[in-house]
Amino acid sequence: MNLPFLPNHDESSFFDFISKQYPGLTLGGNSGGVFPGTQESSRGGGALTVPQATTVLAIKFQQGVVIAGDRRATEGFQIADRRIEKVFKIDEHSAMAIAGAAGPCIEMAKLFQTELEHYEKLEGMSLSCEGKANKLGQMVKANLPMVFQGLVVMPLYVGYDLKRGEGRIFKYDITGGRYEESDYHAIGSGGKDARNTMREHFQRQLPEAEALKLALMSLYNAADDDVGTGGPDLVRGIYPTAKFVTSQGITDVPNDKIRAVYDVLLAARRSKET
């Protein structure tokens, strides 16, 4: 869709611009309370059945934050996707992971990427880490009408604060409320199980390798107890995804490295069972 050129447009926020000019294009922008293409409404219908992205987490370490997620999406009692991506690079020093209705979650991640890029081009500077977290909260709040149809978008945002010289973790509620976590956090259907593992093993100033190991172990333990969370699939070669967020930028953790960590973890687990 081609948007017309508007001479009087001076919005530094792309999200605010399309919310005003083209409200139907934004998350929660359909004021009729009916999700396009459905007959259900938030006033009288049931919740929609859509693929759900499940467990994601973030852990601070010496140089920044590691953010990771499993690969499973569920739809009711069935597996909708085994290879869904839940961890997204937003800009050079921030990333977000998604839990909730997969389609709207992915749309919000892409819109957030565009929002920050648009702001930087118009203002000639990047938003602060705090400003980015606040902006994401506004976008989550805008999705509130869709929550009543079961289309919940629940992000986990991490960024490296260049002014403070540290990684930061932010969680949200469905109203857009933003809360900072000091050490680690996990959300999604297996979030509680993952947090239990992190609570038991987390230490301040973890080395990078140990933080990755803890993240992957937490996802594995969550998958052990939660049917919505996918563990490592050794047959298909499907493993969780992870990114490091540091002062140097965003680094994707290679699949081979994740597999090697799981090889060690699973070998240790098998030795305990015998």
**How does pLDDT run across 47-104, given as a tens digit for each residue?**
557 888 789 999 999 999 999 999 999 998 899 999 999 999 999 999 999 999 999 9
50-273 fold: Glutamine Phosphoribosylpyrophosphate, subunit 1, domain 1 (3.60.20)
pLDDT the model gives residue 76: 86
Question: From the candidates 26, 54, 55, 197, which is the catalytic residue?
Answer: 54
pLDDT more than 90, % of the chain: 74
**How does pLDDT run across 182-213, given as a tens digit for each residue?**
999 999 999 999 999 999 999 999 999 999 99
Residue-range domain boundaries for the chain = 50-273
229 has catalytic annotation: no
pLDDT the model gives residue 11: 63
**How does pLDDT run across 204-247, given as a tens digit for each residue?**
999 999 999 999 999 999 999 999 999 999 999 999 999 999 99
pLDDT the model gives residue 86: 97
Buried b (16+ CB within 10 A) or exposed e, 222-257: bbeebebbbbbeeeeebbbbbbbbbeeebeebeeee
Where does residue 261 fall: left (phi above 0), alpha (psi -120 to 50 degrees), or beta otherwise? Answer: alpha
pLDDT the model gives residue 117: 94
- Checking if the pLDDT of 6 tops 60, the result is no
SS3 224: helix
Q: What is the pTM of this model?
A: 0.84
The three-state DSSP-derived secondary structure of 156-177 is EEEEEECCCCEEEEEEECCCCC
266 falls in which pLDDT band (50, 70, 90)? very high
SS3 68: strand
Q: Which residue has the higher pLDDT, 46 or 260?
A: 260
Contact 34, 151 (CB under 8 A): no
271 falls in which pLDDT band (50, 70, 90)? confident
